[in-house]
Amino acid sequence: MCTCILLSPFEFHYYMSNLSEIRRLRDKIQEYRPGNWTIRDAGSSFEKPSKVQLGVFGVQDSGKSAFLNSLYFAYKGFFSQVYLESNTERQGGETIFRDPTVLTDQVTIFDTRGLLDLSYYKVMDVMNEITGKRGIDPRSWTAGERIDCPIFILKYNSATGIQHCRDFLSSLVPKIRKEFGSYPVMVVTFAESILNQDEIICDITLAGMEKNSLFFIENYTASNHEMDSKKHIALLKILEACIKRADDNITFHWRKEKEPLPKRKCEIM
């Protein structure tokens, strides 16, 4: 028996235009090649890397794994728990290892172990992890695993606001800007339960972040992943922004490492 859902002409048009936007974004991401999206001049000697690496950071249970699974779903078109969510087998601290997944041949995503808290003292650990100077295990040094676009995942706490992470952010953001010449990307999860988005934007920008690098998303989860075309588009736009940021960061890094320039030319975005 065939079950048909009748859509009004308006709903049909909306549905079709969302599908075509999803296709356009997926094609654009699939066609991405390192060095092709940068707004920076890398110089003629720039050796394009074969891929860029995006990595999530944040406290335990903030939605890092669910966010990466959501990006994967939006890009690949099918839901998979590529990364295990924390409450499916036991509470808290599910992701233990820094774990790469190939999204496209040119883009790899990394899940990381959640931080216990966002105290000021965690900033150096996070910076060492982002720059590849240190692995998860403090005794294991994993040089060469640099993250090109750090994505900071925040589960907003309506009771405390950003009080628990203000000092952390105020210290982390300038360090990332110095290292990468740009802001980190920040994703606030559990967006559907947030009623005061403007207030959060204000708080976070006061802590040193820029508004254009800040996104809100209700993740797909293992128990709730019915495809929503608007959410797919929002996720693909975040992915596009992260790849773009990674692309700018690789050219900045190249110039900083290989062709030291006078300060004014290493423009900070």
Sign of the C-alpha dihedral computed for residues 57, 63, 64 and 70 taken in this order: negative
- Rounded to a whole number of angstroms, the minimum distance from the CB of residue 222 to Mg ion is 12
What part of residues 35-64 is at the interface with Mg ion (CB under 5 A)? Answer: 64
Q: What angle do CA 69, 54, 249 make, to 5 degrees?
A: 155
Beta carbons within 8 Å of 199's beta carbon, 6+ residues apart: 161
What part of residues 153-172 is at the interface with Mg ion (CB under 5 A)? Answer: none
If one asks whether residue 129 binds ligand GTP (CB under 6 A), the answer comes out as no
Chosen residue from 145, 218, 247, 248 binding ligand GTP by CB under 6 A: 218
Chosen residue from 61, 129, 145, 179 binding ligand GTP by CB under 6 A: 61
Q: Which does 72 bind (CB under 5 to 8 A by kind): Mg ion, ligand GTP, none?
A: none
Alpha carbons 109 and 104: distance in angstroms, whole number: 9
If one asks whether residue 95 binds Mg ion (CB under 5 A), the answer comes out as yes
Nearer to Mg ion, 44 or 223 (CB): 223
Say how far residue 108 (Cα) sits from the centre of its chain. Answer: 12
If one asks whether residue 150 binds ligand GTP (CB under 6 A), the answer comes out as no
Q: Which does 190 bind (CB under 5 to 8 A by kind): ligand GTP, Mg ion, none?
A: ligand GTP
What part of residues 74-103 is at the interface with ligand GTP (CB under 6 A)? Answer: 85-87, 92-95
Chosen residue from 34, 63, 135, 184 binding ligand GTP by CB under 6 A: 63
Q: Which does 216 bind (CB under 5 to 8 A by kind): Mg ion, ligand GTP, none?
A: none
Alpha carbons 214 and 200: distance in angstroms, whole number: 10
Instruction: Give, as one character, the DSSP assignment of residue 120.
Output: G
The single residue listed with the structure tokens 């075509």 is 20
Alpha carbons 127 and 134: distance in angstroms, whole number: 9
Alpha carbons 98 and 84: distance in angstroms, whole number: 13
Pairing of strands 149-155, 185-189: parallel
Nearest CA among 249, 242, 160 for reference residue 203 = 160
If one asks whether residue 65 binds Mg ion (CB under 5 A), the answer comes out as yes
- Rounded to a whole number of angstroms, the minimum distance from the CB of residue 231 to Mg ion is 20
Alpha carbons 199 and 207: distance in angstroms, whole number: 13
Alpha carbons 144 and 188: distance in angstroms, whole number: 29
Nearer to ligand GTP, 71 or 172 (CB): 71
Beta carbons within 8 Å of 253's beta carbon, 6+ residues apart: 146, 148, 180
Residue pair 109/55 in contact (Cβ under 8 Å)? The answer is yes
Stretch that binds ligand GTP, among 61-69, 144-152, 158-166, 227-235 (CB under 6 A): 61-69
If one asks whether residue 189 binds ligand GTP (CB under 6 A), the answer comes out as yes
Q: Which does 100 bind (CB under 5 to 8 A by kind): ligand GTP, Mg ion, none?
A: none
Q: Which positions touch Mg ion (CB under 5 A)?
A: 64-65, 94-95
Q: Which positions touch ligand GTP (CB under 6 A)?
A: 58, 60-66, 85-87, 92-95, 114, 189-190, 218-219, 221-222
